[in-house]
Amino acid sequence: MANHITNEVSPQSTNIQGAGLDEKTADVTTISQPSPAYYEGPAWKRWLVDLQASAGFGEKKQTTTIYQPRTVPTESNSASARFWKFFKFLGPGAIISVAYVDPDNYQTAISSGGSFQYKLLFMVLVSNLIAIYIQSLCVKLGTVTGMDLAQMNHRWLPRWLELIIYVVAEASIIATDLGQVIGTAIALNILIPQLPLPAACVISVAETLLVLLFYTPQGELRRIRLFEVFVFLLVVVVFVTICVALSMVTGSARDIFRGYVPSREIFVDTGLYESCAILGGTLMPHALYVGTALTRARLYDYDSKRELTREQRIENSSPASSSETLNYRPSLRAIKSCLGYSIAELTFTLFIVAVFVNSALVIIAGAAFYDPDGGEDSEVSSDLYDLYNLFSDTIAPAAGKMFAVSLLFSGISSGIVATMAGQIVMEGALNIRINPFLRRLLTRCVAIIPALIIAVSLGSEGLAKAMIACNYLLAIALIPITFPIIWYTGLNKYMQVPSDDGTSMVSLKNNMLTAGVAWILWLLVVVMDVATVVLVGLGVTEDDG
């Protein structure tokens, strides 16, 4: 963006236009110069000419355009400056963390704690560490390419393969949304018993749509930050209510910390099933799409403030889109400035929120519901109504209310993120941009129809079985959706960016260690997700409905 300055200079002023600079690497300065006659005659005449010029009269000055080297704002490297910068990056991690504390996780964590006490805390920790690692790759993919996962698939995959992944992604998002609708509806019905389940399902759709009216992925960074703060407040409510419920139970600290150490019980029979269920319920497919899309606003803000030209910032990375922010390709400076902070913020938030909340649910269930005489045979129901009654009867009525409140806000925030993911998937895969409200309405309506049918015909028992079925679908959907992320981030073809001077390409692909760990984790996810379905088919658990 040019900076136009009007100034008077002497004829001896040097024009550096021929110094090898152009508008891509320099600020454009327009200098107004008087005619040669200006310097002829006495000084009082020049003073009079200047006075006339200031009043808007007199001869028109000649203008010359020169180019000056661009001054790039420097960033302080002090500890306080780094901390403040990290604070400004807070937000996307809170949105992503919502997917790891949704109603599905409530069911799985509490059932596991009631059946195995604290032994499965190890799997809670491992599952969330795997989630953090894969989500970090999502952040890297979105930061380096400037595109989300759906856009990358649209550009680089064969059309038939892209459509298969798109169908799987849409099915997983609908299944996720169905779980959020059911969880929110049950929480509303618990807190307001006079409210019928079908009416609660409708309300769960309305509140999410109203919230999402204020979110636009390509909007101003300030507006996006307000949305992030709102979601963060929802997460805080879930966090606080779980803390209050946790304070109502007592358990052995030694046994709790020992639960983070692997034991034989979690790898055999129903223990293996519960371990697979925790892993499958933790890694949510829609969270991967959202994770690749949330970095764009801060990168674009960085480049815009430094007035990089369109040629430096834009690459035709999404040929079908006419929006500049969708075509946007971050500069190398923006990537170096933002990538580390984005991953650090994601790791910090997910570890604090996801690991703590899921661990707290297991600890609460283990301390209050575990029957040492029954051992592994003392299973806890996964029905959310039964869990509410268990909280109320075993701990305290207030604990039941805390459980319902946290479930409500978990369902609301999870529904928001799932609907965001639906919009990202459709726009990227189908190469169309529709009204965001219509897309969100479509996603939620597709989820509410089966929820209403189940609520009216089968009641609460049918809703519980529907949520379990959704978990199995999500476990299988994770396999094809995760694969492209590891593939893209490991190859130069997708992870090269121009250097600052534009003379070479810089590779930001995963190194051998990072790529090797990523593929090992993907194989682990495949084995455990398939094992979940196989164990259910063999009748290892009674939760298969």
pLDDT at 344 over 80: yes
CA 419 to chain centre: 12
Residue 216 pLDDT grade (very low, low, confident, very high; cuts 50, 70, 90): low
Which superfamily does CATH assign the domain made up of 79-544 to?
Answer: Amino acid/polyamine transporter I (1.20.1740.10)
**pLDDT at 429 exceeding the cut of 50:** yes
Structure confidence at residue 337 (pLDDT):
87
- Provide the pLDDT for residue 264: 78
**Does the pLDDT of residue 138 top 90, yes or no?**
yes
C-alpha 285: how far from its chain's center? 11
Say if residue 43 is exposed, middle or buried (CB neighbours under 10 Å; 0-12, 13-18, 19+).
exposed
**Token digits for 418?**
């799932």
Q: Could you tell me which of 98, 170, 197 has the C-alpha nearest to residue 463?
A: 197
Q: If you average pLDDT over residues 262-285, what whole number do you get?
A: 75
Rounded mean pLDDT, 112-130? 86
Q: Give 334 or 433, the one with higher predicted confidence.
A: 334
Cα–Cα distance, 399 to 256 (Å, whole number): 20
Confidence grade of residue 85 (pLDDT, cut at 50, 70, 90):
confident
H/E run at residue 425: helix 397-429
Q: Which two tokens stand for residue 29?
A: 């300065």
User: Taken in order 36, 37, 42, 46, is the CA torsion positive or negative?
Assistant: negative
Tens-digit pLDDT profile for residues 12-54? 334 444 444 444 444 444 444 555 555 555 655 655 665 555 4
Which of 213-222, 257-266, 511-520: highest mean pLDDT? 511-520
Give pLDDT, residue 13: 39
- Provide the token pair at 252: 């052995």
Sign for the CA dihedral angle at 449, 412, 522, 123 comes to negative
State the pLDDT at residue 20. Answer: 43
Q: Is 98 helix (H, G, I), strand (E, B) or coil?
A: helix
The pLDDT mean for the chain works out to 74
pLDDT in tens, 475-518: 788 889 999 999 999 998 899 988 877 788 888 999 999 999 99
What's the rounded Cα separation, in Å, for the pair 128 and 359?
A: 10
CA 211 to centroid of chain Cα atoms:
17
122 close to 259: Cβ distance less than 8 angstroms: yes
- Compute CA 212 distance to the chain's CA centroid, rounded to the nearest angstrom: 15
pTM: 0.77
pLDDT of residue 433: 66
Tell which wins on pLDDT, 18 or 444.
444
Q: Are 187 and 408 in contact (CB under 8 A)?
A: yes
Predicted pLDDT of residue 165: 92
Q: What is the pLDDT of residue 18?
A: 42
Residues 6+ apart with CB under 8 A from 401: 191, 392
Task: Kindly tell me the sign of the dihedral angle through the C-alpha atoms of 365, 135, 94, 285.
Answer: negative
Mean pLDDT over 290-298 rounds to: 85
**Residue whose structure tokens are 């196989």:** 534
Please give the torsion angle defined by the CA atoms of residues 237, 239, 244 and 250, in that order, rounded to the nearest 10 degrees: 170
Cα separation, 104 vs 178, whole angstroms: 11
Dist CA 112 CA 283 (whole Å): 17
Q: Of 91, 97, 73, which Cα lies nearest the Cα of 341?
A: 91
Residue type, 49: V
Contact 162, 460 (CB under 8 A): no
Residues of the chain above pLDDT 90, percent: 12
Summarize the confidence of residues 100-105 as an average pLDDT.
79
Q: Higher confidence at residue 80 or residue 223?
A: 80
Does the pLDDT of residue 440 top 80, yes or no? no
Q: Phi and psi at residue 417, in whole multiples of 5°?
A: -70, -40
% of residues, the chain, pLDDT over 70: 67
358-362-366 Cα angle (round to 5): 170
Residue 545: the pLDDT is 37
Q: CA separation (Å) from 490 to 276, 518, 521? A: 27, 9, 14
57-75 tens-digit pLDDT:
555 444 444 444 445 556 6
CA dihedral 417→418→420→421, nearest 10 degrees, is 120
